Chains A and B, each alone.
Chain A
Amino acid sequence: MAVVLARSHRWRVLLAHLFLVLLVAAVIFPFLMILSISLRPGNFATGSIIPESISLEHWKLALGFSTIAADGRLVQPTFPVMTWLWNSVKVAALTGLVTLLLSTTAAYAFARMKFRGKQASLTGLMLLQMFPAVLALVAIYAIFDRIGNVFPAFGINSHWALLLAYSGGIALHVWTIKGYFDTIPIEIEEAAKVDGATPWQAFRLVLLPMAVPILMVVFLLAFIGAIIEYPVASILLNEQSQLTLAVGSKLFLYAQRFLWGDFAAAAILSGLPITAVFILAQRWMIAGLTAGGLKG
């Protein structure tokens, strides 16, 4: 395409690059800063972005080892970061599985069956997810406080309570999976039914194996959603050993005890895998959805 370029064009390109470079710098600045802070000794800023001396004390503390401070004292980890990470991963993995179980079966009914109230329940589910759980915190706290009076395993400070509280948030996932099921031709299942399969067998043995990509995506989305969830976890958990990362990380940065360096190491340690999973999910999501589209 032969286009005559004005002289102002080159200036515009340069300006655009300048703007983008400045913006990238502003966006990357916090990430570089936090890396530098995690590697320099002490918990106070020294003012240089490239640390003058590299120290691994914060990383050791974040990984749960004790270190020897400059004055010879033995420094114990202030917070059990690895325990928090494990709590987060545990709750998130279980939440992912439960979400998958609940939303896949519901999506199957919505995609393949006829029943009364179908359209109404679909719309209802969509409306539900417009009201975030943070608006019902008082009630969620009261409910689990009461449940805990009878079954302490499902009360305040229990991961099972958190799992239950998260298990209700399936609305969006039901819609996603139903959308994928809709793209898979129903004829395959009907053929299976002609061969004598029950609806359950058609679902489990025919439809599910074809829907694996979307199930992965939904699992990862639910997993990430649970890992980064803060409000509900912050009211249901208050014992230090039970906290998830999202709730616990806050404890590093109190005005009276500002553990900046320790926080930086813990943040990278926990942030990197979650970010990686997110980018992975993002990629799979596009791949999974287009794969479904092609089949339809």
Chain B
Amino acid sequence: MTRKKSLAAPLLLGVALVAALYAVVLVHAAGESLLAATLLVITGVAAWVYLSPRMYAYRYLFPGIAAAAVFVVFPMLYTISIGFTNHSSRNLLTFERATQYLLDETVDVEGSALQFTLHADGTQFRVRLQDPKAQTSYVSGPLALTNAVPRQLPAEAADVPTAEPVALREVIARQAALKALTFVLPDQRKVRMSGLRQFSSVEALYERRADGTLLNRRTGDVLTPNARTGFYQTSAGTAVQPGYRVGVGFDNYRRIFTEPAFREPFARIFAWTVSFSALTVLFATALGMLLAALFSWEALRFRGAYQVLLFLPYAVPGFISILVFRGLFNNNFGEINLILDALFGIRPAWFSDPTLAKLMLLIVNVWLGYPYMMVVCMGLIRAIPPELYEASAVAGAGPLTNFFRITLPLIIRPLTPLLIAAFAFNFNNFVLISLLTGGRPDFLDTSVPAGTTDLLVSYTYRIAFEDSGQQFGLAAAISTVIFLMVAAISLVQIRFARIAREEAR
């Protein structure tokens, strides 16, 4: 068995390496050189790790670490780098792609039109082009016309009497495949489809010049690439679509922190993000701790049943609970408003009033979050030596004294790192905001989409994916700012966790 294995492993490795290298070639050919380089590096490291005996331990580590590096670390670094560009729906392409796009723009040469008919030839088709002035015809070879692959094909001067031309709808059905074809006539003229019934000679609109500028053949104007704005511009200074991605340095950060149109919503959303996380942690912990203290009280019966029922919000998938609340809180059809209406005659506008929307978010989030705190606190309270309570009972202390003098001081230290982690989690609680309010109701006085209940993460999401401008660069810059905040919170958390560990010793 061992013998067979020693043969199979190198074989498998070889196949995998060849496949990976083939993928690298494919990716590079498709013009994604950054992606190709990344793949090549991973393949190289993999080959090194699995071929060198000195790297034996890393063979076990490599798959996991590589996955974490590629799909967790790399996206973070990539986010940071996007934050320094103008990547958006206006500046979507790479410079090369944008240049190629302009160079591919063609204009029909006037008076060059050839009449075009399509003829069936078995299951395939032949293209027949007729020059109305010279009275000559050209016919292509048989073509399948099933996919739109750009190709150059010869067409020969001949007038093979083929079948009758096919109906126009057949031409329309194969338009994409036909449009991809360029025929080279015997006199080296190149013609392309320019209408349903005609092919024309085409020429490129722009000509690339040695200094990187593009000459417009029609107007004689010169397009210069502008590396600051990410557009080619005419001599008059107008930008020409499509734009391309360029580095803009700290421009995005400048916008976030100095331009009032961005600074204002950022400051308000930051303030709400902090208060939302802090209040959630405060209320959820208070409720969870109270319940844990109650459940440690032996005089209370049915504790097990209460515990199971009160644990439920934690076990049900969050996205379902949140959507259930979205329906229950609905202004018009929601059951909560039906009950409030029947009892007090009020119908609060949970989704359109900013204060009520925030209140609703807190209620739902405390509902979702207290069971975790309850379970954690129960564990911590169980670890408190019972002698302490016996001593305090002898001294005649009541339950409140017990709680504030014994329970709370003893569990707050080990609890602090968890509270900070909960704060960090809610700081980035995208799912709750996205599924419950979507950030709405929106501020009315901002140019970017920003809502009164938006957290910083949902704000970046809206800038990147919901706004028509798709300002990926700006969104990535805000994400980078959040990275720094999360890192700061984590540092504090690690510090407190260390203190808690050292005290436990």
The residues of A with any CB-CB pair to B shorter than 8 Å are: 3, 9, 12-13, 16-17, 19-20, 23-24, 26-28, 30-31, 33-34, 37, 44-45, 47, 101-103, 105-106, 108-110, 113-115, 121, 125, 127-128, 130-143, 146-147, 149-151, 164-171, 174, 198-199, 203, 224, 227-228, 230-231, 234-235, 245-246, 249-250, 252-253, 258, 260, 263-264, 267, 270-271, 274-275, 278-279, 282
Complex contact A138–B460 (CB within 8 A): yes
- Nearest residue (CB) in A for B295 is A20
Q: List 27 A-B contacts (CB under 8 A).
A: A19-B294, A27-B309, A33-B324, A47-B342, A101-B63, A109-B60, A127-B490, A128-B73, A130-B487, A131-B72, A134-B430, A135-B79, A136-B76, A137-B464, A139-B75, A139-B82, A143-B74, A147-B35, A150-B32, A170-B64, A198-B2, A246-B319, A250-B435, A253-B327, A260-B327, A263-B327, A271-B320
Asked whether B76 lies within 8 Å of A253 as measured between CB atoms, the reply is no
A18 CB to closest chain B CB (Å) equals 12
Report yes or no: A24 in contact with B309, Cβ–Cβ below 8 A.
Answer: yes
What is the distance, in angstroms, from B403's C-beta to the closest C-beta of chain A?
13
> 4 additional contacts, CB 8 Å, given A31-B312, A139-B76, A142-B87?
A134-B461, A137-B464, A150-B35, A170-B67
Chain A: CB-nearest residue to B26: A150
User: Sorted from nearest, which 4 A-B pairs have the closest CB atoms?
Assistant: A168-B71, A106-B64, A136-B75, A109-B60
> Are B320 and A270 in contact, with the CB atoms below 8 A?
yes
Q: Are B64 and A135 in contact, with the CB atoms below 8 A?
A: no
Nearest residue (CB) in B for A274 is: B317
Q: Which of A31, A103, A130, A146 is close to B64, meaning CB atoms less than 8 Å apart?
A: A103
Residues of chain B at interface, number, CB under 8 A: 84
Q: Out of A13, A24, A174, A270, name the residue touching B310 (CB < 8 Å).
A: A24
Within 8 A of A (CB), among B1-44: 2, 23, 26-27, 30, 32, 35
CA of A246 to CA of B318, assembled, Å: 9
Q: Is B68 an interface residue (CB 8 A)?
A: yes
Closest to B342 in A: A47
How many Cβ-Cβ contacts under 8 Å join chain A to chain B? 237
Contact pick for B78, options A37, A47, A139, CB 8 Å = A139
Asked if A138 and B72 make an inter-chain contact with CB atoms under 8 angstroms apart, the answer reads no
Whether the pair A33, B335 counts as a contact (CB closer than 8 A) is yes
- In the assembled complex, B101 has its CB within 8 A of some CB on chain A: no
Residue of A nearest to B432 (CB): A230
B496 contacts A by Cβ under 8 Å: no
Taking the nearest CB of chain A, how far is it from the CB of B187, in angstroms? 38
* Cβ-defined partner of B82 (8 Å) among A109, A142, A245: A142
Give the complex CA separation of A142 and B71 in angstroms: 12
* Given A20-B306, A128-B68, A136-B78, A230 and B319 contact (CB-CB distance below 8 Å): yes
Whether A168 touches B27, Cβ cut-off 8 Å, given contacts A135-B428, A139-B79, A271-B317, is no
In the assembled complex, the Cα of A133 lies from the Cα of B482 at a distance in Å of 12
Interface set, chain B 323-375, CB cutoff 8 A to A: 323-328, 330, 333-335, 338, 342, 367
Instruction: Identify which of residues 390-418 in chain B touch chain A, using a CB-to-CB cut-off of 8 Å.
Output: 393, 399
Q: Is B148 an interface position by the 8 A CB rule? A: no
| Residues from chain B with Cβ under 8 Å of A252 in the complex | 323
Contact B310–A128 (Cβ < 8 Å): no
Identity of the chain A residue whose Cβ is nearest the Cβ of B351 in the assembled complex: A255
| Complex contacts, A133 vs chain B, CB 8 Å | 72, 75
* Closest beta carbon of chain B to A115's beta carbon, Å: 4
B424 within 8 A of partner (CB): yes
B479 to chain A, nearest CB (A): 5
Known: A28-B309, A167-B67. A279 touches B315 (CB 8 A): yes
Q: Are B58 and A115 in contact (CB under 8 A)?
A: yes
Chain B residue numbers with a CB within 8 Å of A109 are 57-58, 60-61
Which residue of B67, B328, B461 contacts A137 across the interface (Cβ within 8 Å)? B461
The smallest C-beta distance from B359 to any residue of chain A, in angstroms, reads 15
Which residue on chain A has the smallest CB distance to residue B73?
Answer: A128
A165 CB contacts on chain B under 8 angstroms: 71
A222 to B70, CA, bound (A): 19
Q: How far is the CA of A128 from the CA of B65 in the complex (A)?
A: 11
- Verify B335–A12 contact, CB threshold 8 A: no
CA distance A271 to B324 in the complex (A): 11
Which residue of chain A is the closest to B424 with respect to CB atoms? Answer: A130
A226 to chain B, nearest CB (A): 11
Task: For the complex, give the distance between the alpha carbons of A151 and B393 in Å.
Answer: 71
Q: Which residues of B contact A108 (CB under 8 A)?
A: 60
Cβ-defined partner of A47 (8 Å) among B330, B338, B367, B393 = B338
Question: Within the assembled complex, what's the spacing in Å between the Cα atoms of A127 and B68?
Answer: 12
- Give chain A residues whose Cβ lies under 8 Å from the Cβ of B472: 138, 142
What B residues does A128 contact at CB under 8 A? 68, 72-73
Asked if A16 meets B300 with Cβ closer than 8 Å, knowing A45-B338, A102-B63, the reply is yes
Say whether B257 faces chain A, with CB atoms less than 8 Å apart.
no
**Is B68 a contact partner of A125 (Cβ separation < 8 A)?**
yes
Contacts of A143 in B (CB 8 A): 74-75, 78
Q: Complex Cα distance A66/B229, Å?
A: 55
Q: In angstroms, how far is the closest chain A Cβ from the Cβ of B274?
A: 17
Contact residues in B for A151 (Cβ distance below 8 Å)? 23, 26
